[in-house]
Structure 1
Amino acid sequence: MTYQRWTLRTANTSYTVRLSPDGPWAELDAWGPLGVEDGPSALDWSRRTHFITPADAAPAEYLPYGLRPFTGSELVVRGPGEDRGVWWEFDGAEESDGGLRLAFTDEVTGLRTVLCYETVPGTDVILRWTEFTATAELRLERLDSAAVNIPVTGAARLTYLAGQWSQEFQRTQVDLPRGTFTIGSLQSVPGHAYAPWLAVQDGEAAQSAYGVALEWPGNWHITAEAEPGGTVRVRAGRVPHEGAVHLAPGETLATPRLACAFSPDGLDGLSRVWHRYERRLSGDRLHRPRKVLYNSWEATGFDVEAAGQLELAKVAADIGAELFVVDDGWFTGRADDTGGLGDWYPDPEAFPQGFDRFVADVRALGLDFGLWVEPEAVSPGSRLHAEHPEWVYRVDGRPARLVRNQLLLDLGRTDVQDFVIGTLDRLLGAHDIGYLKWDMNRPPTERGRPGAGPADLVDLDAEHVAGYLRVLDHLRAAHPDVTVEGCAGGGGRIEHATLVRTDVVWPSDNTAPLDRLRVQHGFLHAHAPHVMSSWVTDAPGIFDPRPRSLAFRFVNAMCGVLGIGADLRAWTPEQRAEAARWIARYKEVRDVVHHGEARLLGTPDDPTCGVQYDAGDRTVVAALSTGRLDGAPLLPGRPARLRLRGLDPAARYRDTATGTSYGGAHLLHHGLPFAWSAEHDADLVVLRRL
């Protein structure tokens, strides 16, 4: 049997698509390590069907309702007054260097659908998305980005990142022998409950892992279905507001991109694929050192005034911080969370000698200066709301609910976007600000825009996303030297569209040591260390209250981009001296942490876990004790061991602090030894290959 076939190749993988011999659709032929396409397809099937159609059983890349009526489709379309359904024909392929476009047309609806593929150089990521062009008015009730087919021999092991506010990115697993699994968000952001990321393995013991991540900071879903023929089919895409998107004649609409990845080295290897991809997303900005940050929020809350902030800044500078960020509370009317949002002017009472003098005093300490903003929010009592009540999301005749005592601006409006851009330009142009923390603390509730026409014709979710990205793109272009941090009540809006436009993100508002360890463990499965902002604070545990040392808090925070958020005025001289030592050590290794290959060693459920970073001839190991710390050394026992990975077994490695030398095989087989105690529950080891 002959059919058209195309293969996309990344650094280490192949992805082969073919035209199906059974109908007018494309289907996956092979996906895995280079050369996997050389042989009969592992997704081929007997073509015997009962009560379903061949399209329902096929490992199709993308199919509309009409052709695939029973087992789930990626596209549901109807014209005015017409029944749902598209029946298309293949209309040609375009190949380019690292790219592929497969077109399908339906004469009845006039819809042209193009399946788009693009490899990302230097990575093992393939981007997929779909483009629609209409010749007549159409209603798209479902418009997924892609479908991904993964062959399995038994129950599929799904790994996803779940949680809630202050408990984001919890690595969670479920086995799916048959049936449907769905995660998503209708909060206009990815949300705290689930990350738009999923990994699939062929059972618990599978060595390889497949993964998808959706590039979309609005409403979304990822759905995995274990189908009868031994395939897991993953569909992913945005979820349109009001249940549909209208496509006008002559209009072309592109879906969000779905990043698809494969690693033969399981979840840990898959994480490194995502890390390499995100380092590429950072571009030249990757090589700008992420400065050691001090943020004053947990020390002062809304009680922001120049003298107290400068006192904190002086101590922060003394221990080695490089950046001072004033969080919420710096602007007029912001004595608490009931007012001020929208009126973005420094409070003259808080800065009696002027805000510029305050910034200059901070910078005179050798610190860069940063500021917190929440540009999508407005307080009901603010001047902005009094002047522009029409700028908030609302539904005529319905009460406007307050979340965190605030409303949400309709960022899909160009006048609101222009206001936000003008506000940020004014702040960054008038004051010497080198760091901007963009926060969002409430999702839209009454999602309407009175006067904009029929509600079902307005794509509010996509318009908000477009406005958000327009503002971030402007910040990048107009203020390229400003570092931008993304935050949404912690980790509520973290995905690739945000990451490519920001420098760091804030995974969670929870900074307690053992709680934060679990957040970061899950986060590093999907995202790179150089984007993970993490603070050292005095916060007690919310979910795991067991105490941990200051060293534990520092080593944990040093696994990403180090920050400090504790009230340094309350620290003893000994604590400040210890902090200064840790910050100095971090500065020596942050290039390895941010640019190196990261390996997750164990999990927070193990008595000892950690992260290993390798770059050049250096290996950095952040080791943390999560188990009981009593008993030792009164009772006999051996040191805990953390087995390293990826080293040369024939090489030798020297601990730069102690001078101890290890053979690579020893570190791989036995591991690094750690003698934990209540006073010593974390360590940072730097090994240099001899």
Structure 2
Amino acid sequence: MSIKILTEENKIILKTKNTMYVMEMLHGRFPVHLYYGKNTKNTDFNFDNNYRSFSPYYEEYGKSFSPDTAPLEFSFFGYGDFRSSALKIFNSSSGSDITDFIFRKAKKFRGRKEISGLPYAEGASETLELIFDDAVTKSELHLYYTLFNDCDVISRYFTLKNKGKNDIRIEKCMSLSLDIQNKECDLISFQSKYFYERHVCREPLYQGNRRITSRRGSSSHHANPFFVIADRKATEEKGEAYGFNFVYSGSYLNEIEVDQNGTVRAMVGLGDECFNYLLCADEEFTSPEAIMTYSAKGIGEISRNMHSFVRSHILPADVFAKRPVVLNSWEAFHFDIDEETMVNFAKSAVECGMDMVVMDDGWFGSRRNDKAGLGDWTPSHELFKNGLRAFVDRVRSTGVKFGIWIEPEMVNPDSDLYRAHPDWVLCADGREKLLSRNQLVLDMANPEVIEYLKASFDKCFEGVNIDYFKWDMNRNMSHPESPYLPAERKRESSYRYMLGVYEFFRWLRERFPNAMIENCSGGGGRYDLGMMKYSTQIWTSDNTNPQDRIKIQYGSSFGYPASVMSCHVANRNSEISDPKLLEFGFRVALNGPLGYELNIINADASVKNTMKDQIKEYRKYEDLIMNGEFYRLKSPFEDGCYAYYFVKKDNSEILLSYLQSESDKKERVHRLKISRAIRGVIYRDNLSGLEISGNELRKGITIKADKDGKYAKMFHFTLYGSGLKY
């Protein structure tokens, strides 16, 4: 990585391992974007003016520059750029929301700026800082571009400082803005709904504005923050593409606009609907971090860039040498749990070779259904007569680790907490509160709420050997206003709520440093980089039907590595009594950290032995699944099947999966090409004994579709002998 500031040419060149980013301070004043693409020795990039009638210009510079048509690094509202802006500020003293930030200085430094209260990428890095000021508002803008020494991702964020005497308000906040010129592009986004998260949506971009957003107080099941802009003809392995994401877990806005010249503007940030921030004199605000990456080798390379970045710079260190294979109680018992049931559950887990039992909802206070008790974090004496500590010790004595479900952000109206503090929930003055899953949202912007939660969890788990927390969040925000905040800061409620959530996450990790956290929000409702900063893995979806999971896991793979994608074999389709479905569910689950959600207490020996063998097989592939490079071959949305492979960095080991959920009466033949196979060597499939050359693997293995569906085929290739040449 490198950053070059060419003062005489007014140009700045950023280089990652394989990409280059070039900008120019046109006339020493305007931040114009010139190039983002593959590394090249050519640095003679010039600004393509594309001036149009009706586009305003500065008299001093004439038509050589118009903010309406130039490809800009960052755009401000009201100063002549009629496209959507990245930053909008309201000046309370003048009533104006127009700014014109002038470039003053560029500098670079080792490391990066820390973002107080928010998650951000860490690791060896170098940062470019651009400094601008606006003479009227007396505000100073610092744009940051952080490069990482081992990956092709650039991080973007900004700091706004109020240097004047009057208050200003941030009315729109976008952390990243990128103008892409002279390309016909498609937008690839990941949308759908609860139970069917991150379905792939590809659509052509035409002139106009496209907004992908969440107003729910979470990144949501409905529209994931990750998206791709790709050449119209880009495929998995060919064509140019740009990937974007946001290191944040609350409401957000992705905005994509195509202008009159065909320039595509992509922006990522907090947006303008669910965010507004008061900046008083001498205060400053730093935006959440957004990231971007470029690929000249198709959409698949975007995914691999993102996977590498998340593993190296976002995810917390693993608590355990190997991720535990967990057995979760929810789909086995729902709320119908007690000490003896859970101990027997643990004994059955040991018989099956599982590592951990997780006790889900229903263990605290008066919580026997979803209508009461949430917020009262006191273990139920009725369920655990000798206390939680003694119960957990009993479970652990069977030979498994112990995990527990929590939902810190929520409260039932029928709870001791709500009766004592009805003012501790998000609500709007004079408005009726709306329930979802019989619960309300605690005001995490209120420091008293955070301190209550810390004290409650500290007392509840004092001396208890907790190995794992499953942090859930089972509703979105309606009336997202904090009673704690004064009127002038009410519109900061959603943002300050997330600051409180992140504060409690950091406290939980510090208080229980040996416990792993798995994040959940009704499944994949907060499947984002902000949560991944504190959570080793995320519950991918509440939908554990393997036929549906195929599409969910396919979509999830575009922006996020397999190591975060919690994949469980569950009881929704009676897999436990149908060997074919148990096997199919397992093959589908070999796309991330493995777990189970079914009642195995009374399962017969053959079922338990099957699961024991499955876990042994998973352990053979585990390192490759967690750390291997990932290639998609077939799309379940287009090809009637999902095929993909993991490959070791040196290409010596390949795990190829073919998954077919639906019937195929035509029994089509699919050719699966392994482009990473080494030419001139022999591979051996450890599952079938097949010996095959790397050349043949590159040409492709053929698989005939199954006419009945619910069919899986796997190959585990390793170099035969010492990679015997032929």
TM-score (norm 1): 0.93
Alignment of 1:309 with 2:309, yes or no, is: no
Alignment of 1:66 with 2:78, yes or no, is: yes
Show the counterpart of 2:62: none
AA matched with 1:239: G
Question: 1:252 Cα shift?
Answer: 1.0
For the residues of structure 2 that align with 1:506 and 1:469, how far apart are their CA atoms?
A: 18
Instruction: Please say if residues 186 and 205 of structure 2, whose CA atoms lie closer than 8 Å, have aligned partners that are also in contact.
Output: yes
Match 1:586 to one of 593, 618, 622: 618
Match 1:439 to one of 463, 472, 475: 472
SS of the residue corresponding to residue 469 of structure 1 reads: helix
For the residues of structure 1 that align with 2:226 and 2:218, how far apart are their CA atoms?
A: 14
Instruction: Please say if residues 599 and 645 of structure 1, whose CA atoms lie closer than 8 Å, have aligned partners that are also in contact.
Output: no
Show the counterpart of 2:138: 110
Alignment of 1:163 with 2:192, yes or no, is: yes
Question: 1:243 Cα shift?
Answer: 5.3
| CA distance 1:674–1:451, change in 2 (3 Å) | closer
Alignment of 1:147 with 2:152, yes or no, is: no
Question: 1:313 Cα shift?
Answer: 1.9
For the residues of structure 2 that align with 1:253 and 1:240, how far apart are their CA atoms?
A: 16
AA matched with 1:84: D
Show the counterpart of 1:277: 309
Match 1:344 to one of 377, 383, 387: 377
Deviates more, 1:641-650 or 1:519-528: 641-650
Deviates more, 1:519-528 or 1:52-61: 52-61
Match 1:85 to one of 92, 95, 98: 98
| CA distance 1:11–1:507, change in 2 (3 Å) | same
Show the counterpart of 1:634: none
Show the counterpart of 1:511: 544
Question: 1:248 Cα shift?
Answer: 0.7
What are the residue-to-residue correspondences of 1:198-277 with 2, within 5 Å?
198-205=227-234, 207-239=239-271, 244-277=276-309
Show the counterpart of 2:683: 653
Match 1:539 to one of 572, 576, 582: 572
Show the counterpart of 2:674: 644
Show the counterpart of 1:666: 696
Alignment of 1:131 with 2:159, yes or no, is: yes
Instruction: Please say if residues 240 and 461 of structure 1, whose CA atoms lie closer than 8 Å, have aligned partners that are also in contact.
Output: no
SS of the residue corresponding to residue 55 of structure 1 reads: coil
| CA distance 1:520–1:152, change in 2 (3 Å) | farther
After superposition, give the CA deviation of every residue in 1:462-488 in whole Å (9 maximum; x if it has no partner): 211111111111222232211001111
AA matched with 2:294: F
SS of the residue corresponding to residue 646 of structure 1 reads: coil
After superposition, give the CA deviation of every residue in 1:524-573 in whole Å (9 maximum; x if it has no partner): 101011111011012249xxxx9972222111112101110022246443
5+ residue gaps, structure 2:
1-6, 58-65, 111-125
Deviates more, 1:50-59 or 1:334-343: 50-59
Question: 1:86 Cα shift?
Answer: 0.6
Question: 1:626 Cα shift?
Answer: 3.3
What are the residue-to-residue correspondences of 1:171-190 with 2, within 5 Å?
171-190=200-219
| CA distance 1:18–1:547, change in 2 (3 Å) | farther
Show the counterpart of 1:31: 36
Alignment of 1:17 with 2:52, yes or no, is: no
RMSD: 2.4
For the residues of structure 2 that align with 1:291 and 1:39, how far apart are their CA atoms?
A: 53
Show the counterpart of 1:549: 581
After superposition, give the CA deviation of every residue in 1:568-608 in whole Å (9 maximum; x if it has no partner): 24644333222221111001111110011111121113244
Show the counterpart of 2:224: 195
For the residues of structure 2 that align with 1:597 and 1:293, how far apart are their CA atoms?
A: 25
AA matched with 1:685: F
AA matched with 1:70: F
For the residues of structure 1 that align with 2:619 and 2:232, how far apart are their CA atoms?
A: 41
| CA distance 1:554–1:357, change in 2 (3 Å) | same
Question: 1:429 Cα shift?
Answer: 3.0
Show the counterpart of 2:660: 625
AA matched with 2:453: V
For the residues of structure 2 that align with 1:15 and 1:451, how far apart are their CA atoms?
A: 44
After superposition, give the CA deviation of every residue in 1:273-321 in whole Å (9 maximum; x if it has no partner): 1100111122543874211111010010011111222222222221111
Instruction: Please say if residues 246 and 457 of structure 1, whose CA atoms lie closer than 8 Å, have aligned partners that are also in contact.
Output: no
Question: 1:678 Cα shift?
Answer: 5.2
SS of the residue corresponding to residue 193 of structure 2 reads: coil
Question: 1:456 Cα shift?
Answer: 4.7
Instruction: Please say if residues 608 and 640 of structure 1, whose CA atoms lie closer than 8 Å, have aligned partners that are also in contact.
Output: no
AA matched with 1:619: I
Instruction: Please say if residues 439 and 488 of structure 1, whose CA atoms lie closer than 8 Å, have aligned partners that are also in contact.
Output: yes
Question: 1:399 Cα shift?
Answer: 1.6
After superposition, give the CA deviation of every residue in 1:366-394 in whole Å (9 maximum; x if it has no partner): 21100000001111121111222211112
Deviates more, 1:526-535 or 1:642-651: 642-651
Instruction: Please say if residues 551 and 683 of structure 1, whose CA atoms lie closer than 8 Å, have aligned partners that are also in contact.
Output: no
| CA distance 1:101–1:535, change in 2 (3 Å) | same
What are the residue-to-residue correspondences of 1:345-360 with 2, within 5 Å?
345-360=378-393
After superposition, give the CA deviation of every residue in 1:505-540 in whole Å (9 maximum; x if it has no partner): 112110101111111100010101111101101224
After superposition, give the CA deviation of every residue in 1:52-85 in whole Å (9 maximum; x if it has no partner): 5511111101121132341121111121142210
For the residues of structure 2 that align with 1:99 and 1:242, how far apart are their CA atoms?
A: 29
Equivalenced residue count is: 678
For the residues of structure 2 that align with 1:112 and 1:158, how far apart are their CA atoms?
A: 34
After superposition, give the CA deviation of every residue in 1:390-448 in whole Å (9 maximum; x if it has no partner): 11112222221211111110001111111222233334433111000100011221223
SS of the residue corresponding to residue 285 of structure 1 reads: coil
Deviates more, 1:400-409 or 1:440-449: 440-449
Instruction: Please say if residues 448 and 455 of structure 1, whose CA atoms lie closer than 8 Å, have aligned partners that are also in contact.
Output: no
| CA distance 1:656–1:677, change in 2 (3 Å) | farther
For the residues of structure 2 that align with 1:263 and 1:596, how far apart are their CA atoms?
A: 19
| CA distance 1:239–1:548, change in 2 (3 Å) | farther
Instruction: Please say if residues 55 and 80 of structure 2, whose CA atoms lie closer than 8 Å, have aligned partners that are also in contact.
Output: no
SS of the residue corresponding to residue 621 of structure 2 reads: helix
AA matched with 2:718: R
For the residues of structure 1 that align with 2:716 and 2:308, how far apart are their CA atoms?
A: 22
AA matched with 2:353: G
- Kindly, what percent of the aligned residue pairs are identical? 28
Instruction: Please say if residues 570 and 597 of structure 2, whose CA atoms lie closer than 8 Å, have aligned partners that are also in contact.
Output: yes
For the residues of structure 2 that align with 1:418 and 1:532, how far apart are their CA atoms?
A: 31
SS of the residue corresponding to residue 429 of structure 1 reads: coil
Match 1:568 to one of 580, 596, 600: 600
